[in-house]
């Protein structure tokens, strides 16, 4: 059985010029993927990763503020590089329950 997961990344913080990529992707079940969030280093205080399921409110996955920080919950990991202005969200071994919109702000 082939199952394709729909993962979506939405830009939510245009005032701070936060850029996210890719804007959307499809991932086969069991495969790993990652999202990138880029932000200006001059105005950085903390970065939030959210997960938003249809018909529900967004929930906070991680709050990251220290350079080099790594946060992990189950198969989902977030990393932060404040010197380069990047954060990455990794999903290892995607499962049907991972289908959602992912946001950084």
pTM, two decimals, is: 0.81
d(CA 88, CA 76): 10
Longest dimension (CA), the chain: 48
Per-residue pLDDT of the chain in tens (105 residues, 90 and over written 9): 444 444 444 444 444 577 878 777 778 889 999 999 998 887 778 899 999 888 899 999 999 999 999 999 999 999 999 999 999 999 999 998 898 888 888
Query: Could you confirm whether domain 4-104 is CATH 2.60.40.10?
Result: yes
d(CA 69, CA 11): 22
């Amino acid at each position: 059985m082939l199952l394709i997961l729909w993962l979506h990344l939405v830009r939510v913080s245009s005032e701070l010029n936060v850029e996210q990529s890719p804007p959307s992707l499809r991932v086969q079940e069991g495969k790993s993927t990652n999202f990138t969030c880029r932000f200006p280093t001059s105005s950085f205080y903390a970065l939030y990763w959210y997960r938003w399921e249809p018909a529900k409110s967004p929930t906070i996955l991680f709050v990251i503020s220290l350079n080099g920080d790594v946060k992990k919950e189950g198969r989902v990991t977030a990393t932060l590089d404040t010197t380069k202005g990047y954060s990455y969200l990794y999903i290892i071994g995607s499962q049907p329950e991972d289908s959602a919109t992912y946001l950084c702000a």
